[in-house]
Structure 1
Amino acid sequence: MRKSMMKAAVSALCIGLFTCIGLVTEASAAAKCIKGDRKAPYTIGWANIYSVPTWMKQTEGTIAAEVEELKKKGLVDKLVITDAQGDANVQIQQIQSMIDADVDAIILIAGSSTAPARVVADACAKGIAVINFDSLVDTDEVTAKINTDSNEWGDTAAKWLIAELGGKGKILVLNGPAGISVSDDRRKGANAALAANPGIEILAETNTAYNVAPAQEAVTSLLFAHPEINGILSLGGALSAGAILAMDKQGRPMVPITGENARQFLELWKEKGLKSWATMQPNWLGAFATYTAVQALEGKDVPAFVKVPLPVIDNSNIDGYLARAKDFPADGYIFSPYDQKLFDELLAAK
């Protein structure tokens, strides 16, 4: 009863996500998957699906930086990194190796929404904290999942483009890789808005890696096939940059386009005076996942799912992002600042 009253009191202090006081409450029982006598300093495993895209490199950078901060506090002593090079089966093998080595926590972006479910559940059963973020696995046998709302992403992007086109026009739809939950969910999120506006005609769709070169190549082919387009529903920032470069090379007029916080896209947006809208999948989700794993191992209560709000980038605030561009790789993503206070607020916002 007393603990319930304490939790209620903490919840009452939270008016909104970013006005919470940043408390993480003690759980009446350990967080899911946490079993056994695990003591700090902990070994953290980062099961990376692939490290080639700059977004992944930046994300890994936030994980490494967070580990260094936790080392200073005596909470972590080692970070083990694997790279499956895009192969979901290899990722499963690497997760199994982490289980065999009895790491204390596994941080995971899944290469498949279904394939890793068994090995992830096995890690959980053996008392290893499992924090899954970005691309999620179809299992509840994890300590926590962390993500933005990909369906909301697709829905908001589609509604913005439809409004810009006045509910009528021919569009291209640019998706990330098929079979990856974050990509598939963004596209599903756009369905209702597109279906409600029959004046919007989808000329063609693509599925490419979240990289500029393949997106530019794919859009180049689509532009040859479709001499008239009125807008582009792009569900990835590198995809947007690739589309703009393809249109520019063919001398095509620019059209309203959605995207995300890829530096090249934001710079092209400003340079060409585009009508655009963007959001982001913050790279610091990696750091947050690492922090969450340690909080769980330390006996703190963590939510089964943490929803990270989607920011909006438009003409009212794009200059603020570009003012920080020099701090990010030319082919990277300009992500928002983060700190422990933000992480505690996110964990407290149940």
Structure 2
Amino acid sequence: MDSSDTASTEDSGAPEARRRRGASMADVAQLAGVSAQTVSRVSNGYAGVLESTRKQVLQAMKELGYRPNSAARALKSGQFHTIGVITFNLSSTGNTRTIEAIATSAAVEGYATTLLPVAVPTQDSVRGAFTRLGELAVDGIVILMEVHLLDAVTVALPPNAHVVVADSNAGDRYCVVDTDQVGGARAAVEHLLGLGHRTVWHVAGPADSFSAERRVGAWRSALEAGGRAVPAPLRGDWSAQSGYRAGLRLAEEADCTAVFVANDQMALGVLRALHERGRRVPQDISVVGFDDIPETASFLPPLTTVHQDFSEVGRRCVDGVLRQIRNNQEETGTTLVPTRLVVRQSTAPPPAAG
């Protein structure tokens, strides 16, 4: 074997050797026959690079297995292309679908998401989540948490992090994205009154929940606007079990012909309790829920409910964060995502007087 053969063998193995030791930007530049600055521009997606040169550099990156150092780029630019998400309830259908939309929308924009669940919403756990978030490299934060939990603790947001809060009344302090709770609840009550029911009972969510209180207020206002009696609301905790307990009490109310339930899970419990007590739905009592979770069409009977667009809430949360990042400016105010009533077989006119 002569010297030329030896040189040829070494040259052909060079890319593989560089791949094994971890290719550098200089290696890519050498193989592509361009400057390191050109490799940097291609790596960061800058314009002003000839398409033929860009393809040449990308081919060299592929051949060498080169991966741009995103951490180094982030430290240099001060942007990490990551959005942090803090939530205290991963079991909720609404939160799950909202988080899924946040992650999907962020990915489309080239951002990763870091999820920090708070198992039990205590002062210490909320403070701990924000402390951990402060140690991570994030450009923006989406908070899926009742605002009173933020007020209950002293939390320090990471410097220069842009914040969006979902489902909250904190629009005077943060950029907020919320479902039109009031409009949805009003539509539910007006639907039942329009069917001829004298009044509408209510199974409410927890008293410390912003969403629950907005729905209670809208229910009461709709009844008062129509000059109707306002029964005392029954309280639940969003679970089907608490709805079942409320349903047992409603079954004993002879004048109850319609009930608006603050979420679909509690409505499921109400339906079971009424069935067990021999109160037919909708012939004896009409029931309306709130959320429109995927299973509601399969309830017995299929549930009339208020549809919340959780995916749209997630998308708008990401839009709000990215808008603040790009403008380098904090925002306040509330964006409402519309709701709509979905009428199924759980509502009907009241039974005729005997």
- TM-score in terms of structure 2 length: 0.65
Say whether residues 1:229 and 2:268 are aligned partners. Answer: no
> What is the TM-score when the length of structure 1 is the normalising length?
0.65
The DSSP-based 3-state class of the residue aligned with 1:80 is strand
Alignment match of 1:145 (pick from 176, 179, 188): 176
Question: Alpha-carbon deviation of 1:38?
Answer: 6.4
Higher helix share: 2
Counterpart amino acid of residue 92 in structure 1: R
Q: Distance in 1 between matches of 2:122 and 2:145?
A: 8
Partner of 1:250: 277
Query: SS at the partner of 1:241?
Result: helix
Is 1:305 paired with 2:334? yes
Q: Which whole-Å CA distance do the structure 1 matches of 2:203 and 2:239 have between them?
A: 12
The gaps in structure 1 that reach 5 residues or longer are 1-36, 317-350
Aligned to 1:99: 134
Tell me the number of residue pairs that the alignment of Structure 1 and Structure 2 aligns.
265
Whole-angstrom distance in 2 between the partners of 1:304 and 1:117: 18
- CA pair 101-273 structure 1, distance change in 2 beyond 3 A: closer
Q: State whether structure 2 residue 321 is matched by structure 1 residue 286.
A: no
Contact conserved, 2:171 with 2:333, CA < 8 A, in 1? no
Alignment of 1:33-182 (within 5 A): 39-70=78-109, 75-76=110-111, 78-89=112-123, 90-111=125-146, 113-117=147-151, 122-123=156-157, 126-134=159-167, 136=168, 138=170, 140-142=172-174, 144-166=175-197, 168-169=198-199, 171-182=200-211
> What letter corresponds to residue 173 of structure 2 in structure 1?
E
How much has 1:49 moved relative to structure 2? 1.5
* Backbone CA RMSD of aligned residues: 3.1
Alpha-carbon deviation of 1:100?
Answer: 4.1
Check the 8 A contact 1:117/1:137 in 2, yes or no.
no
CA distance in 2, matches of 1:246, 1:161: 20
Q: CA deviation at 1:139?
A: 5.9
Quote the residue 1:331 is aligned against: none
| Residue in structure 2 matching 1:190, options 219, 242, 245 | 219
Q: For the Cα contact (< 8 Å) 1:44–1:104, is it kept in 2?
A: yes
2:268 paired residue number: 241
Q: Which has the higher Rg, Structure 1 or Structure 2? A: 2
Q: Does 1:262 align with 2:293?
A: yes
Identity %: 14
Please state how far the C-alpha of 1:52 moved relative to its aligned partner: 1.9
Aligned mates of 2:140, 2:212 — CA distance in 1: 26
CA distance in 1: counterparts of 2:326 and 2:242, whole angstroms: 44
CA distance in 2, matches of 1:118, 1:172: 32
Q: C-alpha distance in 1, partners of 2:172/2:122?
A: 19
Question: Offset of 1:183 from its aligned partner?
Answer: 1.2
- 8 Å Cα contact 1:38/1:297 also seen in 2: no
Does the Cα contact within 8 Å between 2:296 and 2:302 map onto a contact in 1? no
Q: Pairwise mapping of residues 183-222 of structure 1 onto structure 2 (< 5 A)? A: 183-200=212-229, 202=231, 204-222=232-250
Distance 2:332 2:227 in 1: 40
Residues 42 and 154 of structure 1: CA distance in aligned 2, closer, same or farther (over 3 Å): same
Q: Deviations over 1:271-304 (max 9, x none)?
A: 5377x45332524412331233123212288773
Kindly provide the CA deviation profile for residues 192-232 of structure 1, in whole angstroms up to 9, marking residues without a partner as x. Answer: 22223454452x53332333233223323442x43452110
Contact 1:49 1:109 in 2 (8 A): yes
